[in-house]
Structure 1
Amino acid sequence: MYRIFIVEDDEKIAVILRGRMEQYGYEAAAASEFRELMPQLEAFTPHLVLLDINLPYFDGYYWCRQIRMRSSMPIIYISARAGEMDQVMAIENGGDDYITKPIQLELLMAKVRSALRRAYGEYAALPEKTGGGDADGLAGSGSAVRYGSSELSAHGLKLHLSRSELEWKGRKIELTKNEGLLAECLLRKPGHVIPRESLLEALWDDVQFVDDNTLTVNVTRLRKKLEELGLPKVIETMRGQGYKLSEDVLREGAAT
């Protein structure tokens, strides 16, 4: 049974969410104290977190970063903030998805099921145990990685699949789950345009519920990571088509 931890300071909403999760067969618990969330998380060992942004003491962005220091479990933001920058910040701070209030419960459940399938179920490469936590006390720690133990490379740019880590000229940088999936799609066909639809399907199996802007945000995050490695503009946007990994930029970078 998957465990869902709800971080929502509106008690009525928390009760509704907990009831809906249990209705669908999940074990659910809601945060009871918002000054210190991590002990509650560690005690419950969830597989997925539903996280509000406007919280007492520290906001949801802060807690998402704290969770990401220990775990790659799926985190879905639930917030009344509907602005584009709020969603960008949510993803930049480590979130996997975002849903606005008032909550459409069936849409939320579709996103929850999708995230759990990607992280632990039929779309995960490695089987996951759901009966207990990992060594650090969080069931999702490191468990959402989809990859095997190989690597992909193109003109010196390497993606270590088992670690979801990019390497360029000896420099390494860790990727989130979605960044790793995007990098994998692009590195499997360097120089070829990967359609937006293909990338959406690779990241989210319930594509009909995904805002196309979410893909753009994830690509932007991956571009920033590549820029930190010394590869600006290596991901090219092909208007009306998709994205491609520029072999010319890689060759030029390798030669310098």
Structure 2
Amino acid sequence: MYKIALVEDDTELRSMIAKMLERYEYEVMNVEDFKNVLERLIELKPDVVLLDVNLPFVDGFHICKNLRNNSNVPIIMISARNTDADQILGVELGADDYVLKPFSVEVLHSKIKASIRRAYGYIAEKTSTVYGDFRLDYRTFTVSFIHNETELTKNEFKILKILVDKSNTIVSREDLLHELWDDVAFVDNNTLNVNISRIKTKLQDLGLTDVIQTKRGFGYKFVPYWLEKENE
């Protein structure tokens, strides 16, 4: 049973969402201490967070940013703030999805299922990908090379996993965006650029230079060049 943390200050809406989640056999954990939302979420360790934007004391954007710095848990933001800027901000701060109020319970449920599938769907099948001294660990969201290891954010991990799974093959920017976010219309191109840049920096710190190659106008390619040296 997946655990859903629900952060919503509208008691009527919170009750409606909780009943829907319980009907679909999720374990619902209501967070009602709005002065200490971040601390409570870290303590609860949910599988998915449903996070309202307009909260007392601290808004959802601030909580989302700080939670993402501490956890890879999928975050779905819920808000009546429907401008493109608000939705882009939510995604850039680390949210996996952004649901506009009013919404149907079926739409929200589909978003939750998609987030769970993207975050956890492959873990039961495989725990890591290994290319010689290179290892991408699905359980810890870490990448290691020889004796060095570094942690990845959730989106960094997902991008790298897609590229690693299709090693030596160009993956288009559009394919990466569709894999990462349900509605790419609300994703700024710079968001992907920033994530790719961070991944490259972390790989360089491990001693891997130019392992992710940028093919301008096409996309990106993961090249495990060290395998050729190992086979010489």
TM-score (norm 1): 0.65
Match of 2:198 in 1: 225
- Cα deviation code 1:198-236 (max 9, x no counterpart): 5467547xxxx6445449565234234146557899544
Report the alpha carbon displacement of residue 76 of structure 1 after superposing the two structures with TM.
Answer: 0.7
Alpha carbons of 1:220 and 1:83: their partners in 2 closer, same or farther (altered >3 Å)? Answer: farther
- Cα deviation code 1:10-56 (max 9, x no counterpart): 22221221121122222223222210124543665422110011211
SS in 2 for 1:78: strand
In structure 1, C-alpha distance between the alignment counterparts of 2:97 and 2:114, rounded to whole Å: 10
Contact 1:152 1:188 in 2 (8 A): no
Which residue identity does 1:176 align to in structure 2? T
Contact 1:48 1:74 in 2 (8 A): yes
Match of 2:122 in 1: 124
Equivalent of 1:148, from 120, 124, 127? 127
Shifted more, 173-182 versus 213-222: the winner is 213-222
Alpha carbons of 1:13 and 1:236: their partners in 2 closer, same or farther (altered >3 Å)? Answer: farther
Which residue identity does 1:100 align to in structure 2? L
Which residue identity does 1:105 align to in structure 2? V
SS in 2 for 1:29: strand
Alpha carbons of 1:159 and 1:62: their partners in 2 closer, same or farther (altered >3 Å)? Answer: farther
Q: What are the residue-to-residue correspondences of 1:166-181 with 2, within 5 Å?
A: 174-181=151-158
Same amino acid, percent of matched pairs: 30
Match of 2:52 in 1: 52
In structure 2, C-alpha distance between the alignment counterparts of 1:53 and 1:32, rounded to whole Å: 14
1:22 aligns with 2:1: no
Question: Structure 1: any 5+ residue segments left out of the alignment?
Answer: 128-146, 251-256
TM-score (norm 2): 0.71
Alpha carbons of 1:34 and 1:152: their partners in 2 closer, same or farther (altered >3 Å)? Answer: farther
Question: Structure 2: any 5+ residue segments left out of the alignment?
Answer: 226-232
In structure 2, C-alpha distance between the alignment counterparts of 1:159 and 1:89, rounded to whole Å: 32
In structure 2, C-alpha distance between the alignment counterparts of 1:112 and 1:184, rounded to whole Å: 21
In structure 2, C-alpha distance between the alignment counterparts of 1:7 and 1:180, rounded to whole Å: 26
- Cα deviation code 1:89-142 (max 9, x no counterpart): 22222222111122232111001122223334xx23248xxxxxxxxxxxxxxx
Shifted more, 33-42 versus 213-222: the winner is 213-222
Report the alpha carbon displacement of residue 78 of structure 1 after superposing the two structures with TM.
Answer: 0.8
Alpha carbons of 1:167 and 1:27: their partners in 2 closer, same or farther (altered >3 Å)? Answer: closer
Alpha carbons of 1:13 and 1:24: their partners in 2 closer, same or farther (altered >3 Å)? Answer: same
1:32 aligns with 2:5: no
Which residue identity does 1:125 align to in structure 2? I
What RMSD in Å do the two structures reach over aligned CA positions? 3.8
Contact 1:5 1:28 in 2 (8 A): yes
